[in-house]
Amino acid sequence: MFIDGVFKSLDPMLKAHLSDTTNDPQAYYDKLEASEGTDIIWNDLRSIDAKSSGLLTHISVMFVVLGFLAADVDNIFLRVLLTLEFLAYIFAAMLLLRCLDMTGPPLNDLSADPSKIRPIQAREALLRKTIYVRVLRLVYVLTALLIPVVAIKLMTH
C-alpha cells in the first residue's frame, strides 16, 4: 500500500534524526522500573499518547486561527509568514502522528524471543518521548510567534 511505503521510508529518517542520546534504552527503563516497581515503558507510551493527542488538538485550533488570519490578507509579507507558520504546524502534526502509532514497530518485525522484544519497546518509547518533547518546543515557539503576527495583522487593517 502506498501509505505504508511512505511511512516505511519516512520512519527511518525520524529515528535517525530524532532518536534519543541514551546508549541503552532498555537499561534506562530497567532502572526506572527497579525504583518504581511498575512497567515504565507502557506507562510512558500511554502518557505520550495522551499528551500527543492534546497537542494535536492545540495544533488543530491553530490551523483554524491561521485560516481566519489568512482569509483576507493583502500584504505579501504577512501572507508568506502565515503560510510558513501553517506549514510548520503541519510538519509538527505529522511528527506527532508518529507518536500515536498503536503498535510501534510492525508485529512481523518482533522476535519470538520475549527477551528481544523489550529493547525494541524501550527504543520505541524513548523515540516517541523525544519526538513529543521536540514537537512541544516547536509548537510553543510557533504559538508565541503567532502573537506578533496577529498584532501586525491588526495594525495593517
CB atoms within 10 A of CB 125: 23
- How far apart are the C-alpha atoms of 25 and 122, rounded to whole Å? 5
Residue 24 lies in a domain: no
Residue 82 has pLDDT above 90, yes or no: yes
Residue 19 lies in a domain: no
Residue 32, pLDDT score: 63
Could you give the number of structural domains in the chain? 1
Q: Which of 15, 38, 23, 31 is nearest to 99 (CA)?
A: 15
How does pLDDT run across 106-133, given as a tens digit for each residue? 555 656 676 777 787 888 889 999 999 9
- How far apart are the C-alpha atoms of 16 and 9, rounded to whole Å? 12
Residue 24, pLDDT score: 77
Interhelix angle 76-99/2-18, rounded to 10 degrees, is 90
Residue 30 lies in a domain: no
Q: What is the pTM of this model?
A: 0.75
Give me the domain span that covers residue 87. 38-156
Residue 62 lies in a domain: yes
Residue 152 lies in a domain: yes
How does pLDDT run across 41-59, given as a tens digit for each residue? 888 888 999 999 999 999 9
Residue 44 lies in a domain: yes
Residue 110, pLDDT score: 59
Residue 133 lies in a domain: yes
Residue 5 lies in a domain: no
- How far apart are the C-alpha atoms of 41 and 85, rounded to whole Å? 34
Which of residues 3 and 64 earns the better pLDDT score?
Answer: 64
